[in-house]
A and B are shown apart, each in its own frame.
Chain A
């Protein structure tokens, strides 16, 4: 049988698929970050905490209100997005005139506070969240067993990612947004309410993190640290893709998920650093990122 470096092809197919699944999370999260950075020029370090909040919101809805997965898929991102809106209105909006660093420090501090609170209340072991009945079980694909739920995650992620891309790059609203980033004063002079648009954009980016959290809840333990474990990788994805590039964030997310998947077969010990190695190489060769433009 055909083997690649001693690994049978069905294992490789399996890893490819798994990489795609992890890539969906990277893509969804880095998409939110890219939207926020692209439109607001804010490096949103609270993104991991907001992802965690999405998962916890789903868990709380189920535990305290008996609201199941499908409603949580809608409600949890809304709640988390609302949290983002409040954050933007009360704190972030005051920092736009200052250096990027201040936004980073503020969001990083907020992330620590939120995670610390949840750690205090719920410990670090995590809470179980069951896979919804409709998506339990799986398919035997011959080369691997694909849990239905993971297939759903990939599909949902692709739809949301390209929907967002379409919204920003191909619609009138998106055009306003992009124009407002380039020259807010001029756009405002045309009668468009730029501050509201910016608040809504931040809320939307945060809601994307919340959505990723809900999608992750049945796979990982719902755990106060789940975001901080992931966020650094996601930042690397955004840097590799090119800060602020929507399409770059999506494609890089999927690509790196797959790359990480292969690393787990060939040299698993390196699976948590391979993305950073790629990041270093990309920064050396193309400092603006794979899909970024030099400013």
Chain B
């Protein structure tokens, strides 16, 4: 009797084991690793966690019959802290995929860790095009935008409007460097010139010195290759020092809607920017953004909308692959098309880059705006083909021809 019981239990355990082997730890766990306390906390931060949760809720809370969990942590924009958290999440907490990863230096570090462990990264917050270039990973994805798309969007538009000579004020870390390099390439390709650049530490409050150097260069355009409060403080102080009145124009190479909101239209009006998402595009984006705003009190940035889209697509791929094993899910993600309120006809390229339409926008005048968050005129849609680099040309090792 006992023998039979034991055999039965063993059999049961075996069969259960076989069914569960597909989803590790009996749950699909998504970690949102982001800046919750510093200068990018409005751009991504808690809003990204909420966006990821919205994707999970919309999916029904279960994938391949197993529950989905979202956890989150603050990486403080530090590469060492973020890779430590990532290791801990992968090794002891059973996290299957990490989303958001704002700040390029942290994204590069975590993607490296994830590649070694065969886990998926869904990067929306970081900008550097190296993530799908020389630092690419077979299980790494770059979702909302990148420095290449920003250069193609804003860089080209400004040069075509006559801004031929440039001076860069650049944030001194991975993101600023790639953004400056990408825009420089676009400017030179269109016959423009770069008169110089100055690099400032991340999270600087006074930009007057750098602005004065930019002014002294005599360049027509001052390109701001920085983000968050670094950009808003640069723009605010440029107005104070009469730089725009004196005929030089500013190009905020990476501006989020929260930056425009914090500057106010009076200061921000007329700025040209490239974005992967704007809440007021169609009924779908408006409905999603309204739901989001109820939870957070702000409209979503392209990063937060991107986190939603990447998590949703990841879940679909897990369902289709029937497993949460990194490389299998990653291959599935590249196979199935991306279609949601964020990316209408997106396609994940071989190097992990989501190619989706980008938008060139101009910030409205105060008189044109109907209220808070009504900030952008969409000037042009930049088709995915044009906005993103071909995988063969990206420098990614496994897509080189």
User: Residues of A with Cβ closer than 8 Å to B?
Assistant: 8, 10-11, 14-15, 18-19, 21-22, 119, 123-128, 131, 138, 144-145, 147, 149-150, 219-221, 223, 225-226, 229-230, 261, 264-265, 268-269, 271-272
Contact B42 A128 (CB under 8 A): no
CB pair B201 A124 closer than 8 Å: no
How many angstroms between the C-alpha atoms of A268 and B196 in the bound complex?
A: 13
Residues on the A chain within 8 Å of B267, using CB? 128
Q: Are A269 and B229 in contact (CB under 8 A)?
A: no
Check B262 against A221 for contact (C-beta < 8 Å).
yes
B269 at the interface (CB under 8 A from A): no
The reply to whether B262 and A225 contact each other, CB–CB distance below 8 Å, is no
Taking A18-B212, A147-B241 as contacts, is the C-beta distance between A125 and B236 under 8 angstroms?
no
Q: Which of chain B's residues have a CB closer than 8 A to the CB of A128?
A: 236, 262-264, 266-267
Assembly CA distance A22 to B198 (angstroms): 19
A11 and B213 within 8 A (CB): yes
Are B205 and A229 in contact (CB-based, < 8 A)? yes
A147 and B204 alpha carbons, distance in the complex (Å): 20
Distance A124 CA – B45 CA, assembled complex (angstroms): 10
Min CB distance, B285 to chain A, in Å?
A: 21
A44 to chain B, nearest CB (A): 20
* B201 in contact with A125 (CB, 8 Å): no
Residue from B40, B45, B232 whose CB has the most chain A CB atoms within 10 Å: B232
B298 near A: Cβ within 8 Å? Answer: yes
Complex contact A221–B258 (CB within 8 A): no
Q: Is the CB of A131 within 8 A of B264?
A: no
A-contacting residues, B244-292, CB 8 Å? 246, 258-259, 261-264, 266-267
Pick from A11, A119, A138: contact of B242, CB under 8 Å: A138
Ranked 7 nearest A-B pairs via Cβ: A125-B262, A264-B209, A272-B201, A128-B264, A125-B42, A123-B42, A124-B41
Chain A contacts for B42, CB-based, 8 A: 123-125
B232 touches A125 (CB 8 A): yes
Q: Are A221 and B236 in contact (CB under 8 A)?
A: yes
Chain B residues with CB under 8 Å of A11's CB are 212-213, 216
Contact (Cβ within 8 A) A221 B212: no
Measured CA separation A9–B259 after assembly (Å): 35
Closest chain-A Cβ to B101's Cβ sits at a distance in Å of 18
Query: B183 to chain A: closest CB distance in Å?
Result: 19
Q: In this complex, what residue of A is CB-closest to B264?
A: A128
B209 CB contacts on chain A under 8 angstroms: 15, 18-19, 261, 264-265, 268, 271
A18 and B208 contact, Cβ closer than 8 Å, known pairs A147-B240, A265-B213, A269-B199: yes
Check A123/B264 contact, CB under 8 A, given A128-B236, A147-B240: no
Instruction: Tell me if B156 is interfacial: C-beta within 8 Å of chain A.
Output: no
Interface status of B72 (Cβ within 8 A of chain A): no
Given A225-B39, A271-B200, A144:B229 Cβ within 8 A: no
A268, B241: Cβ atoms closer than 8 Å = no
The distance in angstroms between the C-alpha atoms of A244 and B44, with both chains bound, is 41
Contact B212 A14, beta carbon cutoff 8 Å: yes
Contact status A126-B208, CB under 8 Å: no
Evaluate contact between A149 and B39: CB separation under 8 angstroms.
no
A188 to chain B, nearest CB (A): 43
Complex: chain B residue closest to A272, CB-CB: B201
Q: Is A268 a contact partner of B208 (Cβ separation < 8 A)?
A: no
Say yes or no for B345: interface residue by CB 8 A criterion. Answer: no
List B contacts of A126 (CB < 8 A): 229, 232, 262
- Cβ contacts under 8 Å, A21 to chain B: 208
For the complex, is B206 an interface residue (Cβ under 8 Å from A)?
A: yes
Q: Is B373's beta carbon under 8 Å from chain A?
A: no
* CB-defined contacts of B264 to chain A, threshold 8 Å: 128
**With contacts A11-B213, A119-B37 known, is A268 near B200, CB below 8 A?**
yes
Which residues on the B side are within 8 Å of A219 (C-beta)? 206, 236-237, 240
Distance in Å from the Cβ of B221 to the closest Cβ of chain A? 18
B203 touches A (CB below 8 Å): yes
Chain A positions within 8 Å of B199 at CB level: 268-269
Which B-chain residue is minimally distant from A145 (CB atoms)? B242
Q: Which of A131, A221, A269 contacts B232 (CB under 8 A)?
A: A221
Whether B262 contacts A149 by the Cβ 8 Å rule is no
Q: Which single residue of chain B is at the shortest CB-CB distance from A149?
A: B240
CA A11 to CA B214, docked complex, whole Å: 11
Q: For residue A125, which residues in chain B have a CB less than 8 angstroms away from its CB? A: 42, 228-229, 232, 258-259, 261-262
Chain A residues near B206 (CB, 8 Å)? 18, 22, 219-220
**CB 8 Å contact bits of B293-313 with A (1 = contact, 0 = none):** 000001000000000000000
Q: Are A220 and B208 in contact (CB-based, < 8 A)?
A: no
Instruction: Report the bound CA distance from A14 to B208 in whole Å.
Output: 10
B20 within 8 A of A: no
What's the least CB distance linking A229 to chain B, in Å? 6
